[in-house]
Amino acid sequence: MEWKGKWIGPAQSMGDVCPVFAREFNKGDFPGKEIESVQLQVTAMGVYEAQLNGKRVGDYVLAPGWTSYETRHQYQCYDITELVEDRNRLEITVGKGWYRSPVPGWITEEGKAQRAAIPAGLIAELKITFTDTTTAVIPTDETWQAAESRIRFSEIYDGEVYDASFEVSDYQPVVLLERTTGNLIPQQGEKITEHEYVKAARCFTAPNGEVVVDFGQEVTGYIQFTLDAKAGEKVEISHGEVLDKDGNFYNANYRSAKSKIYYTCCDGVQTYKPKMTFFGFRYIRLDQFPGTPCADQFYAVAVHSDMKRTGRLRSSNPLLNQLFSNIIWGQKGNFLDVPTDCPQRDERMGWTGDAQAFVKTASYNFDVDRFFTKWLADMAADQRPDGSIGHVVPTLYVGSGSAAWDDAAAICPWQIYLTYGDKEILRQQFDCMKKYIGFITNSTKDPYLWTGGEHYEDWLGLDAPVGSYKGSSRADFIASAFYAYSTSLVVKAGRVLGEDISEYERLYQGIVDTFRKTFTDYRTQTEHVLAVHFGLAEDPQKTADALAEMIKACGSKLQTGFVGTPYLLHVLSSYGHTELAYTLLLRTEYPSWLYPVTKGATTVWEHWDGIMENGDFWSTDMNSFNHYAYGAVADWVYEAAAGIQTVEDAPGFARVKIAPQPDSRLDWLEASIETRKGTVRSLWKQEEGRIRYEITTPSPAEIVIAGETIEVGAGDYIFYSEIA
C-alpha cells in the first residue's frame, strides 16, 4: 500500500529514554463534516504503545512484534472511533524492543552496535472517514512533536526504569528519517496480549534476609504492583525462576540479563506494570520497596501470542497432570511472537531446533497455524543464499547449517499442514524447503549423505562425553538421517501441491540406500530412534527391540538429547514396547520428565537435572527452567497413549485414527483436541476388571480397540475391552 505517513524520530537523541510522540486533532478541524470512523495505522522501529486522550489503544502488547524487519516489518490497524472526543491528543511511546536491543546478549558482534545506533522511529496514519464517505488522513510528518517519556530506560534483557513523578513536557520538533516503507506488511502473526493475572502466593523473608515474592507459577510477562508511597520513593525489583537449596532468591542463570525494574514513585496510591519489556520468572526479590510489602500487592501478568487453547490432557496421576500443566505453561511462555528457546536469560530467540522438536505438540495444544505461518515466512525471507537456515529466526549472527535445526524448514510446514489441512503453508514454504535440500546436497562431502559441517548433534544428550554438550551419537549419522527425512517431506509436500518432484524422489532413494550401506550399526539410543522413526532401518522391528534392550540395560533410563527425545516413545510404542514407553514417562527418578516435577517445576526445564538431587544447580551458564523442547513428549500422550492420530491423506483431522494404548499404572487418561472439523476426544479408564473407552470423533474414523479395528462416522462411542 502507499503510505502517506513518513518515518519520524526525535530531532535530538534522547539516549536511553523512550520518546513519546504526540499529535493533536479536533473535530472542529473538519467543519461541516461528521466523523463516522477513525482508524489508526501504526508501527515503530522498536515496540510502541499508543494512547488517545489518555486511554490505551488496543490490547496488543510489545507491538509490532518481532519479524525480519529489513524485509517484513508488520504494522497494525486499530479502530479508535469510540475513543475520539471533540478535542483529541494522540501519544505514542516507542521503546527499544527487539529492533534496537542488543540481541543476542551472550555474544559480541557488529550487529549490536548497529542496532543500538538506530533511532526510535515511528510511522503512523490517522484515517478519518466521514458520513459523506469522504476521508482525511493525518500522517506522521514534521507537524508531530516528541518529548522524553516517564520510561527512562526499557530494553528486552535488562528491564525497565520508570519515573512516575516525571512531568512529560518540553516537546520538541521531530525530523523525517530516511527509511523505506516498502518492507511494511499488515499484521500477519497473532498479536501478543496479556492473559492470566497470577496473584502472588506468598511474600516472605528468605534465610539471608532478602524479601521475596513467590507467584507459585513460572510465567513470561511482567509484574503489576500497587502501593501507597510518597513522590521520590524508590522501588527496585529483581526477577528469578527458582530458589537455591537454602531457600534464597537465585538468578545467576540469567547470565548478563539484568532483568530489573526501577520505579520512582509519585504521591499516593499507584499501580505500575512495565510497558516495553518482558521477563521470565516465578520469584521477584524486593531490593527496595516502600512500606511493608504483602502478597496482595503483586500480580504476575502472563504475556504471550494470542493463541486459542485447543488440546487438553488429564490423567489419574497428579505428577503427570503437573507435567501436562508445565508443558502448557512452557509453550505459552515461549510462544511470544516467535518460538523462543527460553524467556528469561540473555537469549530469548527463535531457535529452529526447539521449534521443530515441539511443533507437533504445539499444534495440538494451541491453534498455532497463524503463529507458525508468520514465523516460517520470516525463515524463508532470512534463508541464506546457499539455502541454509539460520539457527535462530528472525536470523541474527548465530550461524546456520546444523542438522535438525535447519530441518525446521521442512518439518514445521509439513506438521502445520497435517494438523490444519491447509496446503497454503506448503505453497508458501515449498521453495524454502527445496533450497534447503539443495544446500545439503551442494555442501556435503559425500553424495547421498550429509557429512562435514558443524552441527549441534544430539544436543544435551545424556550419553555425551565429559566436557561436551553434545551426545555421543555420530554427527554424520544424525545429519544424514535428517537429510533423508527432510527430503521425504519435500516429496510429500510436492505431491500435495501437484509439483514435479521426481528429482527429489530419486534423491531420497539414493540417500536411503547409501545410509543403509554406510551405517550398518547403531551405537546410541538416539541412533536407534532416528533409524526407525525416519524409515532408514532395514529391519525396524529388530532395531526397536535393540533400543528397548539398550534402555533396560541402563536401568530403564533415557539417554537421548534434543534430537532423539521427541521420537523416543513413539518408536517404542510403534513396535510393541508401549509398557517401556510408559515406564520412561512415569519414571520419577533422574533422568525423567517427572523428576523436575518432584523438584517443584512449573514449566519444562532445559536440563533434566537443572536442580540436581542434592539441591545444587547443574550450571549457571546454560540452565533455563522454562525451556519447552522436552515437552514434545505430550504428542506421544495424544497420539499413542490416548491414541488420537492424524491421517496423512486426510490432513486437518478430516479423517481420524484413534488407537488408545492403556497402561495398568494409570486408572484413566483423557485427551482432546479441538480440530478444524470439531473436537476429537479419547478417554480410557479401568472399570470393574475391564477398560472402558469413551471416544468422540467429528469426522469419519478408524477406531482400534485391543487390536480390533472399527470404522465409524462422526459421533460419540463407548467400547470395552478386557485388561491385558
- 10-residue block means of pLDDT along the chain (724 residues)? 94 95 96 96 98 98 97 98 97 96 81 83 97 97 98 97 96 96 97 98 98 98 98 98 98 97 98 98 98 97 98 98 98 98 96 98 98 98 97 90 98 98 98 98 98 95 90 97 98 98 98 98 98 98 98 97 97 98 98 98 96 93 95 98 96 98 97 98 95 97 96 97 86
- Cell 498455532 belongs to which residue? 368
What element of type H or E holds 483?
helix 475-497
C-alpha cell at 384: 541464506
C-alpha cell at 523: 551405537
C-alpha cell at 580: 517401556
pTM for this entry: 0.97
Nearest residue to 412 via CA among 450, 377, 386, 439: 377
| Secondary structure of residue 28 in the 3-state scheme | helix
Q: What CATH number should be reported for the domain whose range is 656-722?
A: 2.60.420.10
Nearest residue to 156 via CA among 290, 259, 41, 261: 259
* Nearest-5° Cα angle at 277, 274 to 282: 80
Q: What is the pLDDT of residue 240?
A: 98
Q: What is the pLDDT of residue 105?
A: 83
Q: Residue 120 carries which DSSP code?
A: -
Q: What is the pLDDT of residue 397?
A: 79
197 to each of 113, 188, 222, 301, 484, how far by Cα in Å? 36, 27, 10, 5, 45
| Secondary structure of residue 572 in the 3-state scheme | helix
**For the CA atoms of 500, 502, 508, 514, what is the dihedral angle to 10 degrees?**
-160
Q: What is the pLDDT of residue 301?
A: 98
Q: What is the pLDDT of residue 159?
A: 98
What CA–CA distance (Å, rounded) separates 458 from 557?
Answer: 16
Residue 223's φ and ψ, nearest 5 degrees, are: -95, 160
Q: List all residues 6 or more positions away from 48 whose beta carbon is below 8 Å from its beta carbon.
A: 42, 63, 64, 92, 93, 94, 95, 122
CATH H-level superfamily of 193-305? Galactose-binding domain-like (2.60.120.260)
Residue 478's φ and ψ, nearest 5 degrees, are: -60, -50
95 to each of 226, 279, 302, how far by Cα in Å? 23, 15, 20
C-alpha cell at 414: 509439513
| Secondary structure of residue 492 in the 3-state scheme | helix
What CA–CA distance (Å, rounded) separates 39 from 92?
Answer: 15
C-alpha cell at 310: 485447543
Q: What is the pLDDT of residue 322?
A: 98
Q: Residue 290 carries which DSSP code?
A: S
CATH 3.40.640.10 fits 8-150+173-189, yes or no: no
Residues that are catalytic: 347, 606
Radius of gyration over alpha carbons of the chain, in Å?
27
Nearest residue to 535 via CA among 482, 496, 493: 482
Nearest residue to 138 via CA among 150, 148, 125: 125
- Cell 491385558 belongs to which residue? 724
* CATH class of the domain defined by 311-641: mainly alpha
What element of type H or E holds 439?
helix 424-443
Are the C-beta atoms of residues 229 and 270 closer than 8 Å to each other? yes
Q: Is 11 left (phi over 0), alpha (psi -120 to 50) or beta?
A: alpha
* Nearest-5° Cα angle at 686, 681 to 691: 70
Q: What is the pLDDT of residue 106?
A: 80
What element of type H or E holds 92?
strand 87-95
Q: List all residues 6 or more positions away from 231 whose beta carbon is below 8 Å from its beta carbon.
A: 165, 265, 266, 267
b/e burial code for range 3-21 (CB count within 10 A of at least 16 → b): bebbbbbbeeebeebbbbb
Residue 511's φ and ψ, nearest 5 degrees, are: -65, -45
Q: Residue 638 carries which DSSP code?
A: I
Q: For the chain, give every domain's residue range.
A: 8-150+173-189, 193-305, 311-641, 656-722
Burial class (CB in 10 A: 0-12, 13-18, 19+), 711: exposed
Nearest residue to 160 via CA among 249, 273, 299, 290: 273
8 to each of 11, 44, 57, 76, how far by Cα in Å? 9, 9, 20, 17
- Cell 516465578 belongs to which residue? 282
What CA–CA distance (Å, rounded) separates 219 from 625?
Answer: 11
Q: List all residues 6 or more positions away from 431 whose beta carbon is below 8 Å from its beta carbon.
A: 380
Q: What is the pLDDT of residue 103?
A: 85
Residue 687's φ and ψ, nearest 5 degrees, are: -145, 105
What CA–CA distance (Å, rounded) separates 406 from 387?
Answer: 10
Q: Residue 617 carries which DSSP code?
A: B
- Check for a shared fold between 311-641 and 656-722: no
Q: Answer whether the bond into residue 394 is a cis peptide, omega within 30°.
A: yes
